[in-house]
Structure 1
């Protein structure tokens, strides 16, 4: 599970129009590319990306996950948006709530182990 809903208040100039994980890095990458690549290089092929703040450019960038070999019929990448009720919005109330609201993703994939990663760190 990759937490990718950050507003990026310390990167305001770069993240006014996009989520922090979607901020360009080194001309041709996005910050989230490092986390996605690290998942695949570690043998993790079922990835849920939890988005929230201005997710459109991030959703477009990740798409079906083809650049990371995550365009699979089993597993692959899935963009997990916060639940939107008929009346108002029910945004994630923090990291634990984001995971809680997406427990079905974990159970549907019969995950024995779950890794929770940040989508806005470069490592």
Structure 2
């Protein structure tokens, strides 16, 4: 019989999280003139997108897809630089899914 802890770790290992990161962020006014809301810097070191991605990692979820749309260039660049070192061979990844791309 499987222990509850082992079952949870197997479920989280096989989980794919989809992070919706296409927000325009109109309430952020000037901060989103040139970038999507998830790409807005936070605290001088992070971007808003780092929080849901970190939550996934801290919860044991290592397979993540980030769906982008609005002014995604700086968001894509940040994710590639900050999160691009995932271990695809071990099933760990952060996949960028632009609006026009199909799965």
SS of alignment partner, residue 94 of structure 2: strand
Higher relative strand content: 2
User: With structure 1 as the length reference, what TM-score do the two structures score?
Assistant: 0.63
Unaligned runs of 5+ in 1: 85-101, 105-123
CA deviation map 1:69-97 (0-9, x unaligned)? x612123000001127xxxxxxxxxxxxx
User: With structure 2 as the length reference, what TM-score do the two structures score?
Assistant: 0.74
Higher relative helix content: 2
Moved over 3 A (4+): none
SS of alignment partner, residue 71 of structure 2: coil
1:22 is aligned, of 15, 21, 39, to 39
SS of alignment partner, residue 64 of structure 2: strand
1:38 is aligned, of 48, 55, 71, to 55
What aligned pairs does 1:1-123 form with structure 2 within 5 A after superposition? Answer: 1-63=18-80, 65-66=83-84, 71-73=86-88, 74-83=91-100, 104=103
Task: Note the C-alpha offset of 1:12.
Answer: 1.7
CA deviation map 1:19-49 (0-9, x unaligned)? 0000011111111111111000000100000
Number of equivalences:
83
Structure-1 separation of matches of 2:68 and 2:54: 18
